[in-house]
Structure 1
């Protein structure tokens, strides 16, 4: 790894950490960056997941004030996230590399669509919150299963799992959106964390790549939690979608 490659991967980690704190989908920055430097898709995904764990943890820490009073919710949904992340990570390791190469372009493009529709989703969520008031509910078994499914997706690949969580939360849970975003960061950190434990135990990890992404995403996560709301969301979404479509094209061309 030369200096320019290291700088590029570290910078992608900073961008991903900030995006994960505010929007989600940071994987759509780091994963394509690794592909562009020639890393095999599964190795890139595994190393990226391990590297992003400190970033999502720092984002959750940055939203610690909004987490007050959510202990019961986090324990309940945290169990679903841990189980889902474990299943997703095992699926990644058990399915053949060729299956990952075929599936991931579809997942990336789906994530790009979710990022594009997020403004409309946010408006819809806000309207539902205004109509239904401030009382909270846990959403019952369907919500728990939805969080479980999102965890499986996150353990397998992970791009836009935060968007999926916020969509479900906004549709069902009656609470302030910033508090829901804080809960989303915690659940994403659990999914990434359990998947990282599995990958470290039984998979090949490029530790130089993981360390660069970890350092960058930690700084980006803290920065995103502090100033992310001031960034122009349209520009962020444009970058995410452009990089995601490019990554899909790269994978399709190599398959």
Structure 2
């Protein structure tokens, strides 16, 4: 790699780590960057996933205050993310890209719709649950399978995984949006981590690229935690929408 490529990939990692911690979709910065520099698409996707794992951990640590009291929730939903991440990684290695990529823009659009309408839907769902005796501690029954499916998507490609997770958590679990963001960071870390282990075991990882993204994403994770927790709920939802729409446009253009 040339010095320019090294700096560009490192900075892309910083940007991806920041965006992933605040919302998600950092992959839409690093993946096109790697492909533009001649890295084969599958190798770029695999190396990108491996490189972003430390950034996911950095972001989760940055949100540790908001994780207080969520141990049970994280254990339960984390199992869904773990299984989903494994399935998604296997799909990437065994299925043709068109089999899943064709529905990615639609999934992101659905996530954005749920994020925007989430507060109103959540109020109605919560009211009905309370009328029947209260909202379950870990959310509605469909939250676990929805997190599982999001994990499959994240293990396969991962762009806007955070948008989908925020939509699921915001509607299915009654809690503060910043605490949902902290939960999202941990679940995304689990998905990226287990997918990375699968890729390391059976796929071709470009370790130079993965290392640069890892360093950059760790820095970005801390930057993102500092920015994200200062955003009010309305602003955070606006950021989610902007990033999600950008993701759809980028994928359709690609």
Query: Does residue 13 in structure 1 map to residue 18 in structure 2?
Result: no
Contact 1:32 1:247 in 2 (8 A): no
Match of 1:186 in 2: 186
> Which sits farther off after the overlay, 33-42 or 136-145?
136-145
Using the size of structure 2 for normalisation, the TM-score is: 0.84
Matches within 5 A, 1:38-117: 38-95=38-95, 99-100=96-97, 103-104=100-101, 106-107=103-104, 109-110=105-106, 113=109
Distance 1:239 1:180 in 2: 17
Contact 1:111 1:160 in 2 (8 A): no
Matches within 5 A, 1:238-253: 241-242=245-246, 245-246=249-250, 248-250=252-254
Contact 2:140 2:172 in 1 (8 A): no
RMSD, aligned CA: 2.8
Alpha-carbon shift at residue 61 of structure 1 (Å): 0.3
Residues 241 and 35 (structure 1 numbering): CA distance in 2 closer, same or farther, change over 3 Å? farther
Residues 116 and 2 (structure 1 numbering): CA distance in 2 closer, same or farther, change over 3 Å? farther
Distance 1:241 1:34 in 2: 22
Alpha-carbon shift at residue 228 of structure 1 (Å): 3.3
> Which sits farther off after the overlay, 186-195 or 167-176?
167-176
Distance 1:162 1:85 in 2: 14
Alpha-carbon shift at residue 124 of structure 1 (Å): 4.3
Match of 1:32 in 2: 32
Distance 2:52 2:77 in 1: 21
Query: Does residue 120 in structure 1 map to residue 124 in structure 2?
Result: no
Query: Does residue 151 in structure 1 map to residue 155 in structure 2?
Result: no
Contact 1:25 1:111 in 2 (8 A): no
1:10 aligned counterpart, secondary structure: helix
Contact 1:121 1:167 in 2 (8 A): no
Contact 1:82 1:194 in 2 (8 A): yes
Residues 236 and 86 (structure 1 numbering): CA distance in 2 closer, same or farther, change over 3 Å? closer
Deviations 1:110-163 (A, max 9, x none): 466468658724654786699799966323542111111111111111111111
Using the size of structure 1 for normalisation, the TM-score is: 0.84
Alpha-carbon shift at residue 41 of structure 1 (Å): 1.4
Deviations 1:82-124 (A, max 9, x none): 01101111111112xxx215643652x3466468658724654
Residues 116 and 5 (structure 1 numbering): CA distance in 2 closer, same or farther, change over 3 Å? farther
Residues 137 and 176 (structure 1 numbering): CA distance in 2 closer, same or farther, change over 3 Å? same
Distance 1:246 1:81 in 2: 25
1:84 aligned counterpart, secondary structure: helix
Alpha-carbon shift at residue 78 of structure 1 (Å): 0.7
Distance 1:225 1:128 in 2: 31
1:213 aligned counterpart, secondary structure: helix
Structure 1: gaps (5+ residues): 251-255
Structure 2: gaps (5+ residues): none
Distance 1:171 1:243 in 2: 22
Match of 1:253 in 2: none
